[in-house]
Amino acid sequence: QVQLVESGGGLVQPGGSLRLSCVASGSAFSSLFMAWYRQAPGKQRERVADITRDGRANYVESVKGRFTISRDNAKNTMYLQMNSLKGEDTAVYYCNARYQYFDWGQGTQVTVSS
Query: Residue 11: its pLDDT value, please?
Result: 98
Residue 38 or 100, more confident: 38
Report the percentage of the chain scoring pLDDT > 70: 100
- Residue closest to 81 by CA, chosen among 96, 95, 70: 70
Residue 1 pLDDT greater than 90, yes or no:
no
pLDDT in tens, 59-101: 999 999 999 999 999 999 999 999 999 999 999 999 999 998 9
Distance CA 18, CA 4 (A): 19
Residue 45 has pLDDT above 90, yes or no: yes
